[in-house]
């Protein structure tokens, strides 16, 4: 059967799906972004990004104008594409339980659109065993579709460079699925790494867990140094200067966002909740805002002060507030301080934010909540707490 589209991305207007769709289209493929989010799909169809991603707006406009990318909410488009890439969200719930059914459910929802000869690529970060689960779904449907698992490893904000630069992990149970997946991702990069599906599922979770644990180590070392009355950044400079074995020791900061904690907890759940290092990392990273406020409360009578938080996104130069620890800091301060004001030039989803000038005017104390570059040079005439070290004035609190 012939297909008039090369790729349809299911979840194609999300933070991962949209850059991927844009990248494929920019490399000359005929692509569709299929999503259940009406607002996001309408924006994309009109050539507008629903969220910030550096470099993406120009390319999106270009591929829409060239007729190589379409976006919509009609699942029928799935039947027209040779390759279906599923990259829907896979969050853990409020009790940190993963939902192994998130991806199979998205596949079930498009079951009526599957056609013989298609390649179904799972791209979400999944609970180990989900690829096999989807293979069973496809088998039960009785439609001759190859299944591959090729995890996304970009960092938000770098998607449009990393999609072309990072090696792509590709996996499939049989030669046909593997070869087809490799061919698809070779459109983006000439470096692929082949694994078995279960190896690839763990590889993705190990990647994010490794990062999460590294940040936890840095944060714990930061707290140790700080409790001892020393500046972690000065020590880190000593550790890392021309010393390759420790060159990747991170600075302190909030390890937050939609992926790192979530994926560490997926791995913990997979290992029967027996993941001492993962859970310890969670306690350190999630505990950092509490530690900060505790330290501040020793120095200041917070009950009489207004505290300003500069930066609410989960990381620098981002508009994404998902699982941002700046919001946890805000919740703690609202309980302890007389007032809390928050500002972020990138975030558009929070009507309670105030302009930075107003925050600086009305606050007695300022905490950097996200290390946006602009804060490094900003004139601030109030005490500043900067655990990230963006201002270069020390990180002690
Ligand atoms: N955000 C990152 O930096 C990042 C990096 C690598 C991997 N991942 C993984 O990629 C996956 C997606 O993450 P994200 O940040 O893009 O999430 P997201 O919420 O930004 O995007 C998911 C999109 O899927 C859509 N969707 C949900 N169910 C659907 C369905 N049944 N049919 C069609 N569309 C549907 C949503 O409307 C949304 O637009 C997750 O598994 C995540 O762990 C994320």
pLDDT along the chain (397 residues), means of 10: 94 98 98 98 98 97 98 98 98 92 97 98 98 98 97 97 97 97 97 98 98 98 98 98 98 97 97 97 98 97 98 97 98 98 97 98 98 97 97 96
The residues lining ligand 1, judged by C-beta closer than 6 Å to any ligand atom, are: 10-11, 13-17, 34-37, 40, 87-90, 106, 109, 124-125, 152, 154-156, 258-259
Query: Hey, how many other C-beta atoms are within 10 angstroms of the C-beta on 79?
Result: 17
pTM: 0.96
Task: Could you list the beta-strand ranges (E) of the chain.
Answer: 5-10, 31-34, 69-72, 81-86, 119-122, 146-149, 168-172, 192-195, 306-310, 339-343, 365-368, 384-385
CA of 128 to the centre of ligand 1 (A): 17
Distance CA 100, CA 92 (A): 10
* Test site for ligand 1: of 14, 71, 75, 157, most ligand atoms within 8 A of the Cβ: 14
Q: What is the dihedral of CA 270, 272, 274, 280, to 10 degrees?
A: 60
Count of beta carbons in the 10 Å neighbourhood of residue 238:
10
Give the pairing type, strands 31-34 and 119-122: unpaired
Taking CA atoms only, the protein residue closest to ligand 1 atom 28 is 88
Burial of 300 (0-12, 13-18, 19+ CB in 10 A): middle
């Amino acid at each position: 059967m012939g297909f008039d589209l090369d790729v349809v991305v299911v979840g194609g207007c999300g933070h991962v799906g949209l850059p991927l769709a844009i990248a494929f289209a920019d490399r000359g493929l005929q692509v569709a972004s299929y999503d259940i989010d009406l607002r996001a799909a309408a924006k994309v169809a009109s050539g507008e990004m629903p969220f910030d991603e550096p470099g993406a707006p120009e390319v999106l406009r270009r591929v829409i104008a060239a007729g190589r990318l379409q976006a919509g909410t009609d699942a029928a488009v799935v039947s027209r594409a040779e390759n279906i890439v599923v990259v829907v969200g896979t969050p853990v719930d409020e009790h940190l339980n993963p939902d192994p059914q998130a991806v199979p459910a998205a596949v079930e929802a498009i079951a009526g659109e599957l056609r013989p000869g298609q390649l179904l690529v799972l791209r979400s970060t999944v609970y180990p065993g989900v690829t096999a689960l989807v293979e069973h779904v496809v088998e039960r449907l009785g439609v001759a579709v190859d299944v591959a698992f090729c995890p996304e490893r970009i960092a938000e904000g770098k998607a449009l460079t990393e999609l072309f630069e990072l090696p792509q992990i590709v996996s499939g149970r049989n030669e046909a699925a593997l070869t087809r997946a490799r061919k698809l991702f070779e459109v983006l990069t000439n470096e692929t790494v082949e694994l078995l599906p279960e190896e690839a599922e763990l590889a993705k979770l190990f990647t994010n867990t490794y990062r999460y644990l590294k940040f936890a180590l840095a944060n714990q070392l930061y707290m140790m140094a700080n409790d001892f009355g020393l500046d972690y950044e000065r020590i880190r400079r000593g550790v890392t200067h021309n010393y390759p074995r420790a060159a990747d020791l991170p600075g302190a900061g909030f390890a937050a966002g939609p992926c790192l904690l979530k994926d560490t907890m997926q791995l913990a759940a997979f290992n029967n909740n027996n993941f001492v290092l993962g859970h310890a990392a969670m306690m350190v990273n999630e505990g950092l805002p509490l530690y900060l406020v505790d330290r501040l409360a020793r120095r200041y009578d917070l009950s009489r002060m207004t505290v300003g938080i500069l930066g609410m996104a989960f990381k620098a130069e981002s508009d994404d507030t998902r699982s941002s620890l700046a919001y946890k800091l805000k919740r703690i301060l609202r309980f302890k301080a007389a007032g809390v004001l928050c500002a972020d030039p990138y975030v558009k989803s929070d009507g309670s934010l105030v302009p930075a000038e107003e925050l600086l005017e009305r606050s007695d104390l300022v905490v950097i909540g996200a290390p946006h570059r602009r804060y490094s040079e900003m004139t601030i005439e109030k005490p500043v707490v900067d655990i990230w070290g963006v201002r270069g004035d020390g990180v002690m609190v």
